Amino acid sequence: MSPAAGSERVAAWSETELGVEGRVLDVVRAPAGVLSARGDDVDPTSADIVQLAADLVATMRVSPGCVGLAANQVGVGVRVFCVDVTEHPKTRTRHGTFVLCNAVVVASSRNERAREGCMSVPDLTGDVKRASRLTVRGRLPGTGEEVEFSTDAFEARALQHEIDHTDGLLFLDRVAGAHAIYPRQTYL
Ligand SMILES: [Zn+2]
């Protein structure tokens, strides 16, 4: 699948493809060990992963301001996450709601610093440098199709934040130092 076709495929994806009802799960908070461990690669066609994908989307949807959620944030140490930045004002390119399995960064450029938060670190935000142009590759839950696509701006940031989760990294691992960490003042 070409990157352009991958982009169209991801944009067309929705959780209704999974054919199962998502359940809202509890989100674990730092310093839970599962947040600091690299997740295992998964078979995106397995029933367990299809259910997990639906659960991640359901949990993201009920969480105000949540633009992405990784499996280890609900206590499952595997490389799966969901993203939906549609409503965020800093979004340019957007692909709606999607879930990726075994995702990796293929290319990245144009670093920009911006404030980030995380449901697993609810009391803090931090300034993190991330690429504002990004190409990623991963597999869709359910069909298992491999997709590669490019994005920018806030969606690129959200993807890097989530791929970091699958590698056992939090945004706190990416800040330049204590001076770049702030108490959270508003809950989006
Ligand atoms: Zn997070």
> For the segment 71-118, what is each residue's pLDDT rounded down to a tens digit?
999 999 999 999 999 989 999 999 999 999 999 999 999 999 999 999
Q: Where are the domains of the chain?
A: 3-178
Both tokens of 108, joined, read 């990245």
Q: How far is the CA of 167 from the centre of ligand 1 (A)?
A: 12
Q: What CATH code is assigned to 3-178?
A: 3.90.45.10
CA of 117 to the centre of ligand 1 (A): 7
Dihedral over Cα of 57, 61, 67, 71: its sign: negative
29 CA distance to ligand 1 centroid (A)?
A: 10
Q: How far is the CA of 13 from the centre of ligand 1 (A)?
A: 22
Is 116 known to be catalytic? no
Rounded CA gap, 47 and 143, in Å? 11
Letter string b/e over residues 51-77, b meaning 16 or more CB atoms within 10 A of that residue's CB: bbbbbbbbbbbeeeebbbbbbbbbebe
Q: Which two tokens stand for residue 118?
A: 């995380």
CA of 170 from ligand 1 middle (Å) equals: 7
Task: Record the pTM.
Answer: 0.96
Both tokens of residue 97?
């709601």
* The predicted structure's pLDDT at residue 110: 95
Give me the mean pLDDT over the 128-134 stretch.
98
- CA 102 to ligand 1 center in whole angstroms: 17
* Per-residue pLDDT, 163: 98
Q: What is the pLDDT of residue 1?
A: 87
Q: Which residues contact 188 (CB under 8 A, 6 or more apart)?
A: 64, 65, 117
Q: Could you tell me the CA-to-CA distances from 175 to 25, 37, 127, 136, 170 in Å, in that order? A: 28, 19, 6, 22, 9
Q: What's residue 185's pLDDT?
A: 78
Q: pLDDT per residue over 23-77, tens digit each?
A: 999 999 999 999 999 999 999 999 999 999 999 999 999 999 899 999 999 999 9
C-alpha pair distances (Å), 100 with each of 56, 86, 154: 11, 17, 17
**What CA–CA distances, in Å, run from 58 to 55, 72, 74, 137?**
5, 15, 12, 23
pLDDT at 188: 52
